[in-house]
Every structure is written in C-alpha cells, then in structure tokens.
Structure 1
Amino acid sequence: MDRTANGTPGPAFAVTHRLVLSIALPMTLAFMTTPLLGLTDTAVVGQLGQPDALAGLAIGAVLFDLIFSSFNFLRASTTGLTAQAFGRGDAKEQQAIFWRALLSALACGCVLLLLSPLLLSAGLALMGPDGGVAVATRSYFSIRMLAGPAALANYAILGFVLGRGQGGIGLFLQTLINGINIVLALALGLWLGWGVAGVAWGTMIGETVGTFAGLLIVLRGFAGRNRPARADILSRSKLLQLFALNRDILIRTFVLLAAFTLMTRIGSYFGAITLAANAVLMNFVLISAFYLDGLANAAEQITGRAIGAGSRTAFDRGLKLTMLWSFGLAAIAALVFLVFGAAIVGVLTTSAEVRTVALQYLPYAAVTGLTGALAYLMDGVFIGATWSDEMRNRMLLSFVCYLAALAVLVPLFGNTGLWLSINGFLLFRGVFLLTRVRPKADQTFRLAQ
C-alpha cells in the first residue's frame, strides 16, 4: 500500500491526462501574457517618438528582470513544499508553508527596495547609458522597484496555488496582473503622456492589485481550525529546509543565466549581423519555454503530491504522462518551426542580411524544444520532490560539459558550434537528472514505508 512519511495512507488520487493538462495549460497561457505585456510597453513608448525613452525602457526592464528572475526560487520552493503537504492532506502545514514563503518574499522585497539606489547605480554602470537614456532608465527602474515587495509576494502566492494544483487561479492572477499593466500602460503612458513613468506606474499598480487579489483568494480558503501557531510558522528546522531549498534553486538559476549570457557574449564575436540573427532565433527558444514550463509546473505539483501521499504509483504515472506531453508537444513545435520558421523570422526582422543568417541556423533553434524537453521536465520533478541538492549538482556538472563543448565546437564550427553547444547543454541537464530519478525515488518511497 502507498503510504506517507509518517506511515499512514495518504489521500489517494489518480494521475490522468486531464490532471496534467489542468495545470499545464492554464500556466502556459499565463506565461504567454508576459511577452504581450512587454510588446505593449515597447509599443506605448515607441509611439512617443523618443528614442532615448525607448532605450531607457529596454535597459530598465532588463535590469529589473535580471534581479527579480533570480528570486524565482520563492515560487518554485513554495510549489514543491505545498504539493507535498497537500499530498499528505496536512492543511495546517500548507498554511504554515504559505506564511513562511510570504514572509520570506516580503522581507526580500523590502531589502531590494532599500538597496534599489545601489542596484540602479550598479546597473547604470554596467549598461553604460548616458544622457536621456540614463534619465529614462532611472525613472522606470525607481518607480517599478516600488512594487518589489508585491512582485515577490506574487511569486509566493503563485507557488502556493500551483502546489495545490489550482492552475486556473494561477492563470487568473497572472492575467489580472498583466491585464492591469497593459491597460494602465496605455492609459498613463500614452493617453496621459506620462511615457516611461506611466508604463512603470502601470506595472507597479498591477503587481500590487495582484498581491491583494491573491491574498484574498488564498486566505478565504483557509479554515480557522487548521491555523498554524506562530511557533509552527517560525520553526527553525522548517525555515532551514526552506533556506536550503531556495539556495539550491538560486544557484541553479544563476548557472542557467550564465549559460545563456555566455552564448550571447560569444555570439558577439561573430559580428553584429550574426548576433542579431541569434537574438531573433532565441525567440524560438522562448516560445518552447512557454509550454515546457507549463508541463514542468504540472510535474512539480504531481511529483510533490505523490511523495506527500506516499504513492509511488502516482509518481511513476505522473512522470510518464508529463514526459509524453513534453516530448509530443516539443516534436510538433519543432516541425512547425522548421516548416514556418522562415515566415516567422521574416516577421521578427526586416533586415535581409539578418534574415539570411538566421535561416542558416534556424534548424538548431527549432529543435531546442526537443533537446530541452527533458531538462525542463526534470527540473519540475526535482523541485516537486525537493531534491534540490541533486538538481544543483547536476546543473553544475552540465555547465562544465557546456564549457567543454564551447571550447571544442566554437573554434571548429563558429556559430554552428555555439548552437550545438547550447543544445548539448540542454541535453546534458535532462539526461544527468534523469539518471538520478529512479535511485532518488526508490530512496524517498522506501523511507516512507
């Protein structure tokens, strides 16, 4: 009989295609609203006819995203821990996990807000804008950082609802946040003529409204009889577990950012046209990430829930179905990109030279969904299972192999070698993690017996 960690049978649940898609599809749609927001912001400022403002918006957005993407561990760790408590049927611990995550998010957000002048100075020194561009960057970044605590709180809220398998609520909250951002960017930035400042205020208000809406939804679902004591929320062992999990996911995120940053850096040595072509082709990588991240979210919830319920059957079934959907959609996407990729490239750039170079390397970008499908999925499995140390170690090993591939393939094949290396990096990650799934699962479920 499947059993939980304390030896009692966990709440039974069936892993079906419907369950997988009920989590994956809403989150895929939610992720797709984010680039729509970026396009709207760019279009609004672009309509003002001020190149400095547009450049300042781009730099400010990059700085903000670089800082806050590093805190995605708040979402990921909350999902894994909540899913396991949900699988055990432990309502009190679910609430305690939420409060720990929320307090951590608000604390990190307040620290970032206090440090924002220093972060802005460092960012301006790194990016090197001057004149009107620097003024626009400073305006956008300073206003948007006011939403720092709310933005990180939204990570915790999203992680909690995903851990409970409530993908529809996640979609609603992300759509609400980005929808308000879009409407206010148009109203404040364009119609009232506030420009970059209006776009930033729209983002700040959207994040804040999203936080209050998320809190209202989550708190309404809490039963008073399951309310955890303050000592439970601030448990030293639980906080240390959360810290270790967040630390490992943060290291994994930094290494991932370093891998793609290194790709851009090396690509710059091949000239502006090749660099621009690579930037165009990275959109194919990002599109693949939408549905692969959605399925990774499904793997997080199902894996964590199965471990919490002590159900090896649900774990194996969840792994099988999420893998089936990941590779199936990746194969379809690769085929679509190969057939219609030239037309997509034509939409993304009007430069004939950039188009020519992009089409040369299109096949390597088109298959990144296939080479990366296992990596995304395994990240979801390991986060849901809270096997963060293994995930961190395999990421570091994959990065070492990536550096070796770059050292060998780039000198031999140039930009082709660069694309082969990034595809290899994705494959390394997936395969290295897959080799550890069965041993870790055997150990985890053996301890639960």
Structure 2
Amino acid sequence: MTPAPLPHRRAFSLAWPAIVGNVTVPLVGLVDTAMLGHFSTATHIGAVALGSTVLSALMWLVGFLRTGTTSLVGRARGAGRDDAALTHAQRAALLAVALGAGALVLQWIAIPALMSVLAPAGDVRELAIQYAWIRMTSVPAALLTLVISGWFVGSGDTRRPLAIVATVNVVNLGLDVAFVGGLGWNSAGAAWATVIAEWLGLALALVLWWRAAPSSLRAGARRWRGRGLRSGWRRLMAMNTDLVIRTALIYAVLMFVTAYGARLGPEILAANAILMQLMLLASYGQDGYAHAAEAMVSREIGARDVPAFHRAVAASALPAVGIGAAFSLLYLVASGPFVSVLTSLPEVTQAVDDYIGWVVWLPLVSAGAYLFDGVFLGSGRTRAMAWTMAASVIVVFVPVLLAGLAWIPDGRNHDLWRAFLLFNAARGVFLGIAYWRITRRGAWLHAAEA
C-alpha cells in the first residue's frame, strides 16, 4: 500500500503568511533600535530595551490567549464542532478583557518595581519606566487581537493574521520614523507609535473576523447569555497555567540576559539589545512553520487522525530546519550590514562585533525547539511544554552559566550567550524526546477532547 503523501503544499500555504507576518514583528523593534541608534544615544537604546523586555514579558505570559485559542478552536473545528469553537473564543475574549484591566491597574506599582531589579538607578531606569507606562495603554487592544488571531490560525487561516500584524507594524514603523526621527521624541515617541498601531490593529481584526464568519457564528457572537460561558473554565485554565509556566521560564531567561547586560555597562546593554533583535528576527521567521504545524496538527487531532498528524509534523520539519540554517548563513556572511543599519555608535558597534558569533548559530540550533513548540501547542500537550522548559533552564542554562563564570576566563557576556545558545538547543532535544515517548505509547489522542 502506497503511503499517503506529506502535506507540503498545505504546510507552505499556512507557513508563508505566518513567516511574513512574524518577521515584521521584530522589524518594528529593529526600526525602534535603528531610529534611536542614529538619532539618539545608548541611554535611550537601553531604556527601550528594558521597557520592551517588561512589555514583551507581559505579552509572552499572556500569549496563551493566542496559542490556547488556536489549539482549542482548531481541535473543536477539526471535530466539526463550530459552536464549541466559538464558545472557546468567547471565554478567551472575556479572559483578555479581565487581564487587560488588571494590567492597567497594577502597572503603577509593578513597572517601577521590575525596573529597580533590571537596572541601577539613573536615566536608563527612569526612561524605561516612562516608555513602559506609555506602552501599557495598548495592552487591552493587543490581548483581544491575540484571541482573534488565535481563532484564525485554529481555523487554518494564517492570511488574515498576516493582514492584521502587517497593518500594525507598517503603521508602527511610519509613526516611529515620524516621532523619533522627525520630532525627536526619543524613547517616548517609539512607545506612542506602538500604542496607536495596536488599537488600529484591534479595529481591523474585528472587521476581518466579522466579514469572514458565517451568519451562524455571527449570531452566536452577538449572544453571550445561554452559551455555557460560566462552565468549561477548568480545562482552559489548566492549559493556560502550563503555558504561563513555560513562558515565564523562557522570559525569565531573556530578562536575565537583559538585566545581566545592564550590570556590565550601557554599551554592553545596547549591544545585547541589538543582538536580541537579530535573534528575534530569526525566531519569528522560524515560527512560520511552527504556526503551520500548530494549525494542521490541531485539526488532525480534533479529527482523531493520528497518521495525518504525523504527516503534518514531517511536512513542517525539514523546512523549519532549512529556515534556521538560512538565517545562520545570512548572519554569518552579512552581520556587518545588519549592525551598521541598527547603530552608528562606535562603542556599541564594537561590542556587537565581539559577541555576534553566538547569535550566528542560534537560528540553526533552535530549529527543533520552534517546530516542536507548534506541535505540542496544537495537540494540547502543554504540560510537556512546561516540564521540558523547566528542564532546559535547570539542567542546562543555569549550570552552563555558572560553570562559565567560574572556569572559563573569556568575559562574562560570552558566558551569558554560551549558556543561552545551549539552553535553546536543549529545548528542542527535550521536546523531541517527549514527542518520541508519546508516539511510542500511542497517546496523542489522550488530550484531544476540546
């Protein structure tokens, strides 16, 4: 019997809009950095790096609003239960509103407290607090947009999320140039550009959902009472708890990298901010096939078709590794032009040159982690994601960092990036082991009820 072909075309049709949309996300950060690198000082670059770290931490922690919605909606629609899919999305929207309101209330205490940990007292800290407070006004819009994007991806539609994120980032980019390069508003200008763009993005997302949804779903969206929204929260919260733990761990590592650089001086902080932007550019590009895998496997698990599930994983795997290798090659041969676009400050450029080698290899060694993230998210195996992330931090990142600081006399920032590189490699290895174990037990459908 001839084996069924791999769904390469389907994977590509889902992946390319996600790749294009994802790559535009760090491009906004690159424009922020470039504008400040050419029209401001290392102090403002560092302030945006610190402020963005805090805001990104929040958005990553609540990223379950997108990923959890994708998984639940995809599995429900794969099982032919569109009304259940809408109920999942409505619960997520209610949660997004509650979290956005809570964030607006708590920001006045939480942001200064976090900044006191991340940076010593001085101009960088004060500017970072100002930047973060401005950015917080866009959080409710961003959270609701995550839910709508999760619905689209779970429905096998990555083109509308592309339209949303592209619009947000093009508006953000244009306002960045106007506010920072034109009006000289420095880090505050970069923050206001993002706020305006995020609210416009939510408006577009709502319009796109309404126009795409069939009349039965639009009628259900109008009706909130009698839809069972008071029940069904336990499963949603259990999945979200796993994702919060997993995301909190990875962002604790990223925040540590930023905070550690701040302690080494403003030049190292600014250099690490640029290196992080390059890392994020590659990671968002690699996430395209992770999103494709997430969308495909959620539908196949919902349909209880395990062979099709494995074919979807295989169709996403080779391109995911190829994209990682392409980014590594690009950074190997063209890191100089990238850095020159981002900053013209000689001391920052020199610091970036000293450490760029670690970022060159990050896309390739991280390919497995990004792919399996999509597989485990789509299949609802969030518990495995939490424990493998914990293992990567406890077993790899912390010991490698401490060993480097104690025994390898090549500079503390090198030790930091070495540990970060191996941490990302370990994530892929541990998730790969978990994938093999679940497959061997034939247990992929055990988390399939949506």
TM-score, length of structure 2 as denominator length: 0.83
Task: Say which of 341, 344, 360 aligns to 2:335.
Answer: 341
Query: 2:287 and 2:275 mapped to 1: Cα distance?
Result: 19
Q: Distance in 2 between matches of 1:155 and 1:422?
A: 28
Determine if the alignment matches structure 1 residue 406 to structure 2 residue 401: yes
Comparing 252-261 and 97-106, the one that deviates more: 252-261
Task: Give, in angstroms, the shift of residue 152 of structure 1.
Answer: 0.8
Q: C-alpha displacement at 1:340, in angstroms? A: 3.0
Look up the match of 2:430.
432
Higher mean Cα deviation, 344-353 or 305-314?
Answer: 344-353
In 1, Cα distance between equivalents of 2:272 and 2:36? 25
* Secondary structure in structure 1 of the residue aligned to 2:62: coil
CA distance in structure 1 between the partners assigned to 2:310 and 2:340 by the alignment: 43
Shift of 1:395: 1.0
More divergent stretch after superposition (203-212 vs 43-52):
43-52
CA 54–409 in structure 1, closer or farther in 2 if over 3 Å, else same: closer
1:434 deviates by 1.2
Q: Measure the CA separation in 2 of the matches of 1:132 and 1:316.
A: 49
What letter corresponds to residue 394 of structure 1 in structure 2? T
Tell whether the 8 Å contact from 1:274 to 1:354 is kept in structure 2 after alignment.
yes
Q: Secondary structure at the match of 1:367?
A: helix
Q: Please tell me whether the aligned partners of residues 37 and 343 of structure 2 are also in contact (alpha carbons under 8 angstroms).
A: no
Asked whether the 8 Å contact 1:100–1:233 carries over to 2, the reply is no
Give deviations 1:198-234, integer Å, cap 9, x for gaps. Answer: 5544433322222122122223333444538745441
2:83 equivalent to 1:85: no
The runs of 5 or more residues in structure 2 that have no matched partner are none
- Structure 1 pair 349–177 and aligned structure 2 pair: CA distance change class (3 A): closer
Query: Does the alignment pair 1:105 with 2:96?
Result: yes
2:320 is aligned to 326
Distance 1:118 1:192, change over 3 A: same
Q: What is the alpha-carbon distance in structure 1 between the residues aligned to residue 314 and residue 389 of structure 2?
A: 23
Of the three residues 15, 21, 24, the one matched with 2:15 is 24
- More off after superposition, 210-219 vs 298-307: 210-219
Of 421-430 and 121-130, deviating more is 121-130
Residue equivalent to 2:300? 306
Q: Does 2:171 match 1:173?
A: no
Distance 1:57 1:310 in 2: 46
In 2: Cα distance, 1:211 partner to 1:143 partner: 18
Given residue 322 of structure 1, which amino acid in structure 2 is its aligned partner?
A: S
CA-based RMSD: 3.5
Secondary structure in structure 2 of the residue aligned to 1:165:
coil
CA deviation after TM superposition for structure 1 residue 369, in Å: 1.4
**Residue type of the alignment partner of 2:334:** F
Q: Is the 8 A contact 2:145 2:202 kept in 1?
A: yes
- The TM-score with structure 1 as length reference comes to 0.83
Deviation at residue 189 of structure 1 after TM alignment: 6.3
Structure 2 residue aligned with 1:3 = none
Could you tell me which residue of structure 1 aligns to residue 206 of structure 2?
A: 215
Partner of 1:116: 107
1:422 to 406, 420, 428: 420
Aligned residue among 229, 234, 247 for 1:234: 229
Q: Distance in 2 between matches of 1:397 and 1:282?
A: 23
Name the SS for the 2:163 alignment partner: helix
**What is the distance in 2 between the residues matched to 1:364 and 1:131?**
29
Trace 1:41-56 onto structure 2 (pairs within 5 A): 41=32
Distance in 2 of aligned mates of 1:102 and 1:271 = 42
Cα displacement string for residues 37-71 of structure 1 (whole angstroms, at most 9, x for unaligned residues): 33444566788769887765555444333333321
Matched with 2:195 is: 204
Superposed displacement of residue 300, structure 1? 1.0
Which residues of 2 match residues 138-157 of structure 1 at below 5 A?
139-157=130-148
Q: Tell me the equivalent position of 1:296.
A: 290
Which of 253, 257, 271 aligns to 1:259? It is: 253
Deviation string 1:74-103 (CA, Å, 9 cap, x unpaired) is 111111111111211221112111111111
Aligned residues: 435
Aligned equivalent of 2:173: 182
Provide, for residues 132-191 of structure 1, a one-character-per-residue CA deviation record: whole Å limited to 9, x for no partner: 973x55554444322221111111111111111211101100112222333444556676
Matching residue's letter, 1:98:
A
Q: Kindly tell me: are residues 83 and 63 of structure 1, through their superposed partners in 2, closer, same or farther at Cα, counting changes over 3 Å?
A: same
Deviations 1:270-306 (CA, angstroms, capped at 9, x unpaired) = 7777666555444442232022111111111111111
Q: State which of 346, 369, 377 in structure 2 corresponds to 1:375.
A: 369
The structure-2 alpha-carbon separation of the partners of 1:445 and 1:64, relative to structure 1 and needing over 3 Å to count, comes to closer
Q: Which amino acid aligns with 1:176?
A: T
* Secondary structure of residue in 2 paired with 1:103: helix
The equivalent of 1:287 in structure 2 is 281
